[in-house]
Amino acid sequence: MLVHRQKFLFLIILLLFGGQTLSAQWDWTSGQVTIHTLLPESFAGKDPSVKMGGLSGICYNGQQDVYYAISDKPPGRFYTLRVDRLDGTLTVLRETRITFSDVSVPKLMDPEAIRLTPDGKTLIWTNEAHSTVNLMDLEGVVYRVIQLPLAYQPDQKGQGIHNNSGLESLAISPDGSTLVVASEHILKQDEKCGSTWMPPYHPLRLVYLDLATGDILYEKLYYAQNGHGLVDMIWDEEGSLWCLERSWSPLTGNDILVYRADVNNGSTLKGHPRLCDLDPETTWSVKATLVHDFQAERKSGQQRRYDNVEGMTFGPGSSKDTWRMILVSDDNFDKRQVTQVIELSIHR
């Protein structure tokens, strides 16, 4: 009975919103999940007062078969990790400090997402504190900063990002020409009319940037599950975005969802400073397919404990039909939490 009721409600949504689809039916199969736990004492850098942790973003370097995971607390730094493909052993190879050359040093640093350009020469990361996108070499030297406009800056006048809800997500196109960023939660200027769009979802903006110029090319509408934040994205070879959503409650812990979004559809939002200026019946979001629900594992009896997952990347061996997803959790430097590197296989 419940299944029929859900289908009926879904049809009503389609009729009300002009055929817009929020979540297509499952056409993916989730495979084995492997969890590696990193203890802070498992790696000691040059400064013993700087603990390993706060890993908020991760990316893969296929040329060197290593991962880069960035920490969200000062001093700015990222870690180079290796996962042994035979026995799954996880090793922290080194810590690299972030410095700034020929650009202004930010007063506040809150690194979140990190990506590697296709040529393997540049790492790109977002600073949530200032809504910037930073380009640096593999030695951690930042040589260019892209500043997002005021609409995405922290602000107290009814616009911009909310505190600690800024640029959590970053993806790069396979050809390396375009970036897409998104805030974790709804912008202030959009929230007054956000509830009129499609409860229980809340609308977010996917912002596409020309990497060469730093200019905004266009924006797309993305519906996140109510109560969930968009914490990372990956751009695949077929032009789709894999989106990582996360929420937390004291009763159920971390609820983690992985979607695949077809961004070739959906309305363009550029030039519209507020969602209130748009018609929700003629403005379509991108179409997203739920690929993996970590919460469903607990409901089915698997008592896995997933921590504060914030970062996601493709691992080696990924293809258009089989994807190896690598996720990382932020322990918030809290003794009650842990740093996890999670391997998830997805098959079409």
The single residue listed with the structure tokens 């009503």 is 12
Domains annotated on the chain, with CATH: 23-347 (2.120.10)
**Measured over all CA atoms, what is the biggest interatomic distance in the chain, rounded to whole angstroms?**
63
- Which pLDDT score is estimated for 181? 97
Distance CA 331, CA 56 (A): 9
**pTM of the entire predicted model:** 0.89
Residue range 236-257, pLDDT digits in tens: 999 999 999 999 876 667 889 9
Alpha-carbon Rg for the chain in angstroms: 20
| Confidence at 2, pLDDT banded by 50, 70, 90 | very low
Low-confidence winner among 128-142, 190-204, 310-324 (lowest mean pLDDT): 190-204
Distance CA 287, CA 264 (A): 9
Q: Which residues are CB-neighbours of 238 under 8 A, at least 6 positions away?
A: 320
| Confidence at 12, pLDDT banded by 50, 70, 90 | very low
Distance CA 4, CA 7 (A): 5
| Confidence at 333, pLDDT banded by 50, 70, 90 | very high
Which tops the pLDDT comparison, 135 or 199?
135
- Mean pLDDT of all residues belonging to the chain: 86
Task: Evaluate if residue 280 carries a pLDDT over 90.
Answer: no
- Which pLDDT score is estimated for 15? 31
Determine whether 13 is exposed, middle or buried from the number of CB atoms within 10 Å of its CB (0-12, 13-18, 19+): middle
Mean pLDDT of 14-36: 54
For residue 67, the tally of other CB atoms under 10 A from its CB is 26
Task: Evaluate if residue 28 carries a pLDDT over 90.
Answer: no
The single residue listed with the structure tokens 């937390």 is 248
- Which pLDDT score is estimated for 16? 33
Instruction: Name the residue type at position 55.
Output: L
Which tops the pLDDT comparison, 163 or 97?
97
